[in-house]
A and B are shown apart, each in its own frame.
Chain A
């Protein structure tokens, strides 16, 4: 399937999902004189639906979905997984430990750097940013159960 066709279909489906969700959540549409909370989402979903159909219909793309160039997907998955770990661990393990672990994983496991520079960089970055932002700039960053 061509990229424009696929993206047009996804946009149209998204618009349909918004309309369905507005109805399922029971948001009142209101009247023209007093539009309700579902009025604007419905108008926008209508616009997105039309745009999606136009993108698919006026498709000029000659590239198929498979040819769009996804070669770096392994890196992408690894980086996103590490970031997801940060989001999960930030308030449980604390800023410094979570960031140090995430940097160590990115450098050591994903980028295959040597152990010592990896550990030094990870600890330095986590500790340094914590010092600058939490200690100096007073941006409150989470501490973990071990006090850091």
Chain B
């Protein structure tokens, strides 16, 4: 404990130095600006700004990129509440009740609750990161290829189980994403797979073009052609403060969202996206007035927003402690750290304590900066959205193309983004979720390597996965989720048969 506090002191001495503070502030500002732009989420924001950090030292670069990351998470709530346009996927749940509150003239209150909830969740979850990352790093040493594989599969199953739609459809999308991850040079044999002569595909399909296409471009394709573009609502300063009743209603959801978000954020998966979905479901189940959800329930904003931001910090635990990214954004962060010569994993805390603890301390500072930005400057940020959509979406497209091109300086990535945009648009129409595709793409190389190493270790015996306790427990938990889903599917089928039988009886009578 004392050692942790001492280390945190070292971290604050790094984070509160004027240059680091300036980069954290710049990251938060840029992140928030990026977050309020529909179509350009934290992934595109980090990708855009990544080359700009090449000239910085590792600590400054990582602190700035982290600022962009959680700034964008905050910013996404503004467009969700005011325009029903999620800045990125994690803000989807905020759209429902946040927008309904705004329509009732409580947009300012919704924004304030979202900002305060995010601040509380961000700060508390950093405490969790502080105390959990070092023990997790020690625990990580027990993880071999079979345990990694079980962990990664469990993450995919959690995402599929928690998804709003059918689990089979989500698993199909995850399998498709994993297949996309097979493109490129095979790490173990050096064979080119499914590259069709494109040298650029040697390293595989990039996460950035796929994610920006599936989320950003698909959103534009779906929205730009609508007959009536979404209306803009501008909150007044005096409406920013929530009433006492609204504060009371939001306190418990903020607490639950914080804990839930952090716990889910640690798991591999598009954690912040899942966490906001799960939080919404939990709040609706616990509420005395579930009928208010969808009509402007305060808990429907406070819970998901807190969970979303708490998961942001939670996502850094496996990334920093294990070197395992828990989603596409931490994957880009991981790549950014590697570019700067930092190898996240169990040895990071011992070898570069000033970077690790400086990063933790800068998250506290970042949260304060974000609260200062989000409360009074909401009206300023919203002015970006006063630009009519026919002018706004070409600008967003320019940023999407710019962000994707800038990562590798390759036009092939722009083509991949366009193909994924079209695919994302079609998949929306067919009621498929696209998050599992991105997750599958991110996890594919790790899953393949772990599987092949595990089979090599066991001389081809799959029993290795159930003989080792950690992997057996993780796989059993995954199987439990599948069985739970199967149970609810069968029960729904039985309910349907019972209803049909009752209807038939009624007709006979």
Contacts and interface: CB of A to CB of B under 8 A. Distances in A.
Interface in B414-459: 414-415, 418, 421-422, 425, 429-432, 447-448, 451-452, 455-456, 459
B450 to A, nearest CB: 11
Most chain-B Cβ atoms within 10 A of its Cβ — which of A11, A25, A51?
A51
Nearest to A113: B390
Contact of A44 (B175, B188, B415): B175
A111 to B, nearest CB: 4
A146 interface: no
A111 B172 CA distance: 37
A79 to B, nearest CB: 6
Interface stretch (B176-184, B235-243, B266-274, B470-478): B176-184
Given A87-B411, A138-B51, A139-B406, A40 B390 contact: no
Contact of A35 (B222, B391, B452): B452
A136 to B, nearest CB: 8
Interface string A27-63: 1100111111111110011011001101100101100
B432 A7 contact: yes
A99 interface: yes
A125 interface: yes
A125 B398 contact: yes
A41 B447 CA distance: 12
B281 interface: no
Contacts of B447: 40
Contacts, number: 169
Given A21-B194, A44-B179, A76-B425, A37 B391 contact: no
B462 to A, nearest CB: 8
> Mostly helix, strand, loop or mixed at chain B's interface?
helix
Contacts of B222: 72
Interface string A68-107: 1111111110011001101100110000000100110011
A18 B391 contact: no
Contact of B221 (A33, A38, A45, A75): A75
Interface string A102-141: 1100110001010000000100011001000100011111
Contact of B52 (A45, A75, A99, A137): A137
B224 A70 contact: no
B398 A87 contact: no
Given A37-B189, A52-B172, A79-B221, A133 B226 contact: no
A136 B430 CA distance: 43
Contacts of B399: 129
Given A72-B222, A76-B225, A121 B168 contact: no
A32 B193 CA distance: 20
Interface residues of B, number: 62
A44 B405 CA distance: 30
A73 B226 CA distance: 10
Contacts of A111: 390
B135 interface: no
Contact of A34 (B182, B217, B393, B456): B456
B430 A33 contact: no
B179 A45 contact: yes
21 contacts: A3-B430, A11-B176, A14-B176, A33-B460, A41-B194, A44-B178, A44-B182, A55-B168, A55-B172, A58-B489, A71-B225, A76-B422, A90-B401, A90-B405, A90-B411, A102-B398, A111-B390, A113-B390, A137-B51, A139-B51, A141-B402
Given A34-B455, A48-B176, A133-B402, 7 more contacts: A41-B179, A70-B429, A72-B221, A83-B421, A90-B414, A107-B390, A140-B409
Interface of B: 48-49, 51-52, 55, 166, 168-169, 171-172, 175-176, 178-179, 182, 186, 188-189, 191, 193-194, 217, 220-222, 224-226, 390-391, 393-395, 397-399, 401-402, 405-406, 409, 411, 414-415, 418, 421-422, 425, 429-432, 447-448, 451-452, 455-456, 459-461, 489
| 3 tightest A-B CB contacts, nearest first | A72-B225, A75-B225, A32-B460
Interface of A: 3-4, 6-7, 11, 14, 18, 21-22, 25, 27-28, 31-41, 44-45, 47-48, 51-52, 54-55, 58, 60-61, 68-76, 79-80, 83-84, 86-87, 90-91, 99, 102-103, 106-107, 111, 113, 121, 125-126, 129, 133, 137-141
